[in-house]
């Protein structure tokens, strides 16, 4: 019986050590408290927010041109698509929120109102465009477009800052692990 126990301990230790090498990301996330899934979703939301900001900037530049309402309509549909995709990512983030670190949970909570405001403004811009196709060069429509650009910029900046924080935190923790090894 003692012989079996002596053999079992080294085998168990070997299996645990092997598991540490096989699942380093999982272990690292468990140690740091950060959710790898949430970090990935935030990175995806950042990429979508960059596209949203760029398309909003394009549309904002239209107000200084003589483009037709169709150009605005095409661009606002692209913006609406980015808002919807970001909303889908937010829904996934909210589903995973309980598994995240406090900073990740805060990111999710802060994205929601900003995205809702942008979505509402986008819908109002679409409605205004549909009702005033011949007035895209007048102040009210230009104001909607400018507000949309500013909201998209704020959303992109906020998400980018959270993603950058997560990456910096991960790098800091990795450097700390290297120092502990020495």
**Confidence at residue 116, expressed as pLDDT on a 0 to 100 scale:** 97
- C-alpha 83/C-alpha 68 separation (Å) is 23
Both structure tokens of 15: 């299996």
pLDDT 10s digits, 8-62 = 434 433 443 344 434 344 434 444 589 999 999 999 999 999 999 999 999 999 9
pLDDT 10s digits, 126-170 = 999 999 999 998 999 999 999 999 999 999 999 999 999 999 999
**Confidence at residue 181, expressed as pLDDT on a 0 to 100 scale:** 65
Contact 123, 163 (CB under 8 A): no
Contact 105, 97 (CB under 8 A): yes
Percent of the chain with pLDDT over 70: 81
Confidence of residue 174 (pLDDT cuts 50, 70, 90): confident
For residue 54, give the nearest of 155, 166, 124 by alpha carbon.
Answer: 155
Confidence of residue 176 (pLDDT cuts 50, 70, 90): confident
Q: Out of 3-7, 31-35, 46-50, 171-175, which region has the weakest mean confidence (pLDDT)?
A: 3-7
Three-state DSSP at 63 gives coil
* Count of helices and strands (H, E) across the chain: 6, 0
- C-alpha 138/C-alpha 148 separation (Å) is 16
pLDDT 10s digits, 95-125 = 999 999 999 999 999 999 999 999 999 999 9
**Confidence at residue 182, expressed as pLDDT on a 0 to 100 scale:** 62
CA-angle at 159, arms to 127 and 39, nearest 5°:
125
**Confidence at residue 177, expressed as pLDDT on a 0 to 100 scale:** 77
pTM: 0.79
């Amino acid at each position: 019986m003692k012989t079996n126990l002596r053999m079992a301990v080294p085998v168990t230790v070997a299996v645990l050590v092997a598991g540490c090498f096989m699942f380093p990301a999982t272990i690292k996330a468990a140690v740091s408290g950060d959710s790898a899934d949430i970090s990935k979703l935030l990175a995806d939301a950042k990429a979508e927010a960059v596209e949203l900001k760029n398309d909003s900037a394009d549309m904002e530049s239209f107000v200084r041109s003589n483009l037709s309402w169709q150009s605005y309509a095409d661009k606002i549909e692209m913006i609406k698509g980015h808002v919807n995709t970001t909303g889908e990512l937010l829904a996934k983030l909210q589903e995973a929120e309980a598994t995240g670190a406090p900073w990740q949970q805060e990111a999710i909570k802060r994205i929601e109102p900003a995205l809702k405001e942008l979505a509402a403004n986008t819908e109002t811009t679409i409605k205004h465009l549909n009702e005033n196709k011949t007035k895209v060069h007048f102040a009210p429509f230009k104001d909607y477009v400018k507000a949309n650009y500013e909201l998209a910029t704020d959303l992109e900046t906020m998400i980018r800052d959270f993603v950058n924080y997560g990456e910096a935190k991960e790098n800091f923790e990795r450097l700390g692990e290297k120092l502990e090894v020495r």
